[in-house]
Amino acid sequence: MSDAIADHDTRHPGLNLAETDTFAHAEAEETVFGFWVFLMSDVVLFALLIAVYATAVPMTDGGPGPRDILTLGPAAFETGLLLLSSLTFGMASLALKYEDPRSRLVGWLALTLLLGLAFLGLELKDFADWSAQGAPPQRSGFLSALYVLLSTHGLHVAIGCLWIAVMIAQVFRFGLSAAVKLRVMRLALFWHMLDVVWIGLFSVIYLVGLSS
């Protein structure tokens, strides 16, 4: 019997709340799994965009190529910001799981939000710098694919930042109800997925692009 209970407590994906909130834990089993399915469809979208980008890399039409506009340093710094934001969201998840004071959860979420906004600001600066160098998105197939791929990820990060802000407001308004906990759990999965996708983009666009 104890083995069956232990299996029930750990079988659902995502953050395990069995010890602190059994109701939210039970509700998460189907809700969070459904969100996993959605995230996998989103990953397929990025896989298609990466395939389009890889095909379009040689299509420069005499314009700038990857080695002409891409720089590793700023991109590595942006990567560091996102990875750090994944850590801070992990700390927010632990604060949620162990029912730490509400202020601690909000603090970690706010720090994650700031890191996400900093990432977006640096990415917009990259776009502005490329355009100033004569590499706007309409210049060639390569640049169009590059801007679309990075902008799609940036749009997801912007949605994640908005979602974090909404969740901070909901924590203040409704407290740590089961519904709020489930939303934070889904947001955590979404945010970590964006970090994983960015590692793939960084590898394909910057590491491969600058080494070829």
How far apart CA 23 and CA 21 sit, in angstroms, is: 6
Residue 105: count of CB within 10 angstroms of its CB:
23
In which band, very low, low, confident or very high, does the pLDDT at 11 lie, cut at 50, 70 and 90? very low
Which residues are within 8 A (CB) of 11 and not within 5 positions of it... i.e. 6 or more apart? 29
Domain positions in the chain are 2-211
pTM of the model: 0.85
pLDDT of residue 65: 92
Helices (H) and strands (E) in the chain, counts: 8, 0
Distances (CA, A) of 42 to 46, 103, 123, 154, 190: 7, 32, 21, 14, 10
Amino acid at 22: T
pLDDT at 5 exceeding the cut of 50? no
SS3 labels along 97-163: HCCCCHHHHHHHHHHHHHHHHHHHHHHHHHHHHHHHCCCCHHHCHHHHHHHHHHHHHHHHHHHHHHH
Topology annotation, domain 2-211: Four Helix Bundle (Hemerythrin (Met), subunit A) (1.20.120)
In which band, very low, low, confident or very high, does the pLDDT at 4 lie, cut at 50, 70 and 90? very low
Eight-state DSSP code of residue 1 = -
How far apart CA 37 and CA 30 sit, in angstroms, is: 11
pLDDT in tens, 163-189: 999 999 999 998 888 888 888 988 999
Dihedrals φ, ψ of 87, to 5°? -65, -45
Handedness of CA 151, 33, 15, 183 (dihedral sign): positive
SS3 19: coil
Which residues are within 8 A (CB) of 209 and not within 5 positions of it... i.e. 6 or more apart? 57, 66, 67, 70
Residue 102: count of CB within 10 angstroms of its CB:
14
pLDDT of residue 157: 97
| Greater pLDDT, 186 or 4 | 186
